[in-house]
Amino acid sequence: MPSNSDQSVHSGTLTGIGVGPGDPDLLTLKALKYLQNAEVVAFPQGRDGQPGLAQRIITPHLGQQQLLALNFPYVVDPEQLSNAWQRAGDRVWQHLSQGQNVVFACEGDLSFYGTFNYLALSVERRYPGVTIERVPGICSPMAAVSALGLPLTVQSDKLVVLPALYSVNDLDAVLTWADVVVLLKVGSVYSQVWALLQQRQLLEHSWVIVEATQPGQRIYRPLTLYPGLTLPYFSLMVIRSGANPLP
């Protein structure tokens, strides 16, 4: 690990900005200011050489900034992930150590399962004393319910967010006490979830939103009509199981 003596007191600032769920117009004014004033703009590298979502969101707002695509692999192996985060942090430090300010564009909100968390942790651990700032953004559940024309919660609703569902037993347990459940990355378990919702008579109170606020946005309702959907990565389900009436 590099020592403190390796660092310049004039190192640049790393700022993570939440760029929202897809619509470039949902970028906050503060995030836009940081983005346009940055010398280097970093973002997760897309798959198969294609631009990733964060890059597509910020592209209309870019000027002459230097672009830095960072590889965050879609794997679950801890060692592979740790090595990738370390390499990404080192690449960012190459610019920070030269006094350049780096802005990292993170889809959605930074604190809501955001990729920036891993990058920031890597930089903080390897280069102590670096200044890191954070600018929040709009996360996908907020965008999804806006697309539905519904509130996410009302009155005393209890809300649960499940980021990746590997067993419907988890959902079954949550539905015994939660009033609103949001399922992220629901595509891989959609058929099992659909069967459970049918059993609990909740299909009429559940919605699927694909690519919320993006050009390809699609909404599926009522789910009684869609037992066999094949869904892409950016798919989200909202389940309202509570008794509180909607306004």
Query: The whole model's pTM is what?
Result: 0.90
**Last-in-domain residue among 82, 107, 135:** 135
Assigned token pair, 105: 């564009």
Residue type, 45: Q
Rounded to whole angstroms, the Cα distance separating 42 from 214 reads 21
State percent of the chain over pLDDT 70: 96
Which CATH number do you get for residue 68? 3.40.1010.10
Strands across the sheet containing 66-70: 66-70, 40-44, 102-106, 14-18, 132-135
**172 and 127 part of one domain:** no
* Model confidence at 125: pLDDT above 90: yes
Q: How many Cβ atoms are within 10 Å of 188's Cβ, its own excluded?
A: 14
Rounded to whole angstroms, the Cα distance separating 148 from 240 reads 13
Assigned token pair, 61: 């707002």
Domain interval for residue 110: 4-135
| 44 close to 162: Cβ distance less than 8 angstroms | no
- Stronger pLDDT, 133 or 76, i.e. the higher one: 133
Which CATH number do you get for residue 176? 3.30.950.10
**Last-in-domain residue among 113, 135, 157:** 135
Q: Does 79 fall in a domain?
A: yes
Rounded to whole angstroms, the Cα distance separating 18 from 26 reads 10
The 10s digit of each residue's pLDDT in 68-96 is 999 988 777 888 889 999 999 999 999 99
Q: Does 224 fall in a domain?
A: yes
